[in-house]
Amino acid sequence: MRTASRRALLAGVSGAVLTSGCASFFSSAPDTGDNELKRETRAAMKRAARFMRERVAYRGGYVWSYAPDFSRRWGEMEAFPSMIWIQPPGTATVGHLFLDCFHATRDEFYYQAAMDVAEGLIAAQHPAGGWNYHHDFAGEESTRRWYDTIGKNGWRLEEFHHYYGNATFDDAGTSEASQFLLRMYVERRSSRLRAPVEKALRFVLDSQYVNGGWPQRFPLTDEGGLHGHADYTRQITFNDDVAGENIKFLLMVYQTLGDERALGAIRRAMDVFVATQQPAPQAGWGLQHDARTLAPIGARTYEPDALTTHTTANNISQMMNFFEWTGERRFIERVPEAIAWLDSVRLRDDQVRVAGRHYPTFVEVGSNRARIVHRRGSNVVNGEYYWNYDDAKPITHYSQWRNVDVEALRTRHALLTQAVQIQPRSPFERRADFRLPRYFTTQNIEVSDLNSNVGSGAVQRPTSQRVQELISALNAEGYWPTALTATSNPYAGDGSTTPALGDFSQTLVGDATDTSPHTTDQPITGISTGAFIQNMSALLLSLDSGE
């Protein structure tokens, strides 16, 4: 449940992406005649991929970053050597990349590398069909030891404080793994992949509530909540676009496999967006909603009961997508109310605490006041999160203000309502010429593995000069040396009940016992999965002929 919005592997859950024939993904590169550079590019890509596949992968899986001697490794938190990370940009993201490289080169090496990843994900798949944030091949005892040591001492990472033993929709891990396995199955219709794809589909179908919402984790457990709070993982979740990611996967299943079960689930999912929109004048949505009452509720202890502005903006966009798909005006008739609510909480310029961010993240139901989250203490044992209305010294690891493009939402809604007649571009009609996008990792994805020098966004076709720079930057071992600006304290035992000296209220990490990741001004140079994905994506685009 990262705070940054995750950009999906497809360019959004839109009918345009999933039903257009994907022409934009097949644009031909101009023929520069530089065959020698292309040969060098292929050789560099192969060397980098071979290093990752043969030296870095563990049973087909990956984490986010590695010390150069592999003495330490990290996903969103430090990982055991026997662990792989499912949460992007982890194992499935690398699998997508290998399949993209196969499409660009038709080199069987990349397909087999992608199959290695598929095998790792199949082994990590929960019996119910989804995936946890990570998987430990050393077994259940090792998994519990990780949660009892590194996991539970990450003060600000409460999703890792408890081992539920189930799977999660959070951070698109299950969604991305499901999409990758589906993509691999569609590629050659391998019987080895059909059952895991079916399990993933069953997970999405079985976990959906009758009202159309999805919990954050499934199967549901009887576990209590953390830190004295109710268990948030069983509530309807919009955070990280859980519903949108599931709808996208269901659309892909329907268009590629023709499975009719997907359609009813999509319809129910669209309905829950309508049902959970709150009454005016606060016609927005929260990160989560109570599965019974549909009221907005909190999640982790630094996510209080509240309406949330960024979730509301995302849900408005989804509702307009649904209208374009169906032509049903019920999806957009209350959009003006939601926009009006966003307008009502917009900060004046002289109130803005973070440049460009005019919208409080959390807004109190009833009063419309911003709830600002703070923390005190120094670790997970003696520390706690709390909220009030004071904007001084807010936590910094979870933004308390957002940049929301309300004008773009307003403009899009106006165009939709002014149209005399909408011709639905329904993704619910199967197309004989439907194909999944040729490439996934070149789209607007988040490949950041917490290291600040790894960017996000759509990869552009590189110039010849940039290609040469990337080739030259690949070291003798076969990886792009990357300053690992994100690190963490090694596990040093549980924290003290007495707070350490110092002010940790606005830091990313607490005292020496806090295992949360944080930035360092003395980074080691190591191996970044995010850098590998981004650089390989650029190189494969330089080879793409559009065929």
Q: Would residue 81 count as lying in a domain? A: yes
Cβ–Cβ contacts within 10 Å for residue 430, how many?
13
pLDDT at 84 over 70: yes
Q: Answer whether 350's CB lies under 8 Å from 391's CB.
A: no
Write the burial class of residue 531 (CB in 10 Å: 0-12 exposed, 13-18 middle, 19+ buried): buried
Q: Would residue 361 count as lying in a domain? A: yes
pLDDT at 345 over 90: yes
Q: Tell me the CA end-to-end span of the chain in Å, nearest whole number.
A: 38
Cα–Cα distance between 248 and 20 in angstroms, integer? 15
Cα–Cα distance between 484 and 488 in angstroms, integer? 11
The structural domain count of the chain equals 1
3-state class (DSSP) for residue 100: helix
pLDDT band at 427 (very low <50, low <70, confident <90, very high): confident
Cα–Cα distance between 325 and 338 in angstroms, integer? 20
**Domain assignment of residue 529, given as a range:** 15-543
pLDDT at 407 over 70: yes
Q: Would residue 510 count as lying in a domain? A: yes
Structure tokens of 17? Answer: 């992406």
Structure tokens of 296? Answer: 């907005």
Among 104-108, 221-225, 271-275, the range scoring the smallest mean pLDDT is: 221-225
Q: Would residue 457 count as lying in a domain? A: yes
Using alpha carbons, list the distances in angstroms from residue 163 to 136, 141, 148, 432, 483: 12, 11, 9, 44, 32
pLDDT in tens, 139-196: 999 999 999 999 999 999 999 999 999 999 999 999 999 999 999 999 999 999 999 9
pLDDT value of position 60: 98
Mean pLDDT across the stretch 489-498? Answer: 98
The dihedral sign for the CA sequence 32, 34, 37, 42 = positive
Q: Which residues pair with 78 in a beta bridge?
A: 74
Q: Would residue 7 count as lying in a domain? A: no
Angle, alpha carbons 456-72-530 (nearest 5°): 15
Cα–Cα distance between 139 and 470 in angstroms, integer? 39
Q: Would residue 264 count as lying in a domain? A: yes
Q: Would residue 5 count as lying in a domain? A: no
pTM of the model as a whole: 0.93
pLDDT in tens, 30-63: 444 579 999 999 999 999 999 999 999 999 999 9
Cα–Cα distance between 207 and 248 in angstroms, integer? 16
pLDDT value of position 426: 74
CATH of the domain at 42: 1.50.10.20
Q: Would residue 9 count as lying in a domain? A: no
3-state class (DSSP) for residue 117: helix
